[in-house]
Amino acid sequence: MALENVAAKGLVLLGCGKMGSAMLEGWLKGGLPAGSVWVLDPNPSDWLKATGVHLNEEITITPAVAIVAVKPQMMGAALPALRALGGGDTLFISIAAGTPISAFEKAFGATSPIIRAMPNTPAAVGRGISAIIGNAHVGEAGLNQAEELLSAVGQVVRLEGEEQMDAVTAVSGSGPAYVFHLIETLAAAGVAQGLPEALALQLAQATVAGAGALAEGAAEDPSQLRVNVTSPNGTTQAALEVLMNEDDGFPALLKRAVAAAADRSRELANG
């Protein structure tokens, strides 16, 4: 229903980098007509040029949704292009990290319905997860519309308050980088044990991807899955005694890492 509303009234996408392109590709595949989409992007890709959307044209509609998908440092220069849409029925959705709802209320008017969303990079392969929270002017219909649009690139969860967004940013927003680093360090450890680099990388990539899929689809929680593959006094137990060390293993390290990311998110939000 939400895509039908967007198809009828139109959608504006401000910024079409990797995340914007992933979302747009998902919407078009889901049946949203290219003619219903206006995209504003100073450096459009060849793929974007070939989609048939209204590219860098004057916005002649009052769209159902306007999505802000530019980097925070570009916000000041980019937002004026959407200012005329504020104060009406257009739903604004921001996927800009570290930019609070209050900044968009200031830009578009305090009565504008605004949703802040935090997707992550696996959205590029349709396996992302996005967290959303709206201001007081966003009703259930607006949240449903945002959820349907963002579900084109993965799962969507709703937050209880905007203050949770910093933790979301630290866990799922920045989280893919932690996993990528795990892959590269696991591969490097394999090389240190005598494996060729290409083989070690292949083993690490497939292991992390497979374990993630298993964890997502299994009835057991991750703790039980860990127990299931840990034989007493075996090789896995030997490794876990190092990784689960409370002083310098995963528990302490990831707690510090996530806290650092959340603190930085708070700093960005406060200017």
72 annotated as ligand-binding: yes
Q: How far apart are CA 270 and CA 80, in angstroms?
A: 21
23 annotated as ligand-binding: no
Q: How far apart are CA 48 and CA 9, in angstroms?
A: 21
Calculate helix-pair angle for 18-29, 140-150, nearest 10 degrees. Answer: 100
Calculate the dihedral angle through the C-alpha atoms of 28, 55, 69, 25, rounding to the nearest 10 degrees. Answer: 20
E strand residue ranges, the chain:
11-14, 37-40, 54-55, 65-68, 91-94, 114-118, 128-134, 154-158
What would the two tokens of residue 76 be? 């000041």
What would the two tokens of residue 188 be? 């490097």
15 annotated as ligand-binding: yes
Q: Is 74 strand, coil or helix?
A: helix
14 annotated as ligand-binding: yes
Spatial CB neighbours of 24, under 8 Å, sequence gap ≥ 6:
13, 16, 37, 39, 48, 51, 53
16 annotated as ligand-binding: yes
71 annotated as ligand-binding: yes
Under DSSP, the state recorded for 138 is -
DSSP letters spanning 156-203? EEE-S-GGGHHHHIIIIISHHHHHHHHHHHHHHHHHHTT--HHHHHHH
Q: What is the CA radius of gyration of the chain?
A: 21
Residue reference for tokens 């927003």 = 173
17 annotated as ligand-binding: yes
**Would you list which residues are annotated within the binding site for NADP(+)?**
14-19, 69-72
**Would you list which residues are annotated within the binding site for NADPH?**
56
**Would you list which residues are annotated within the binding site?**
14-19, 56, 69-72
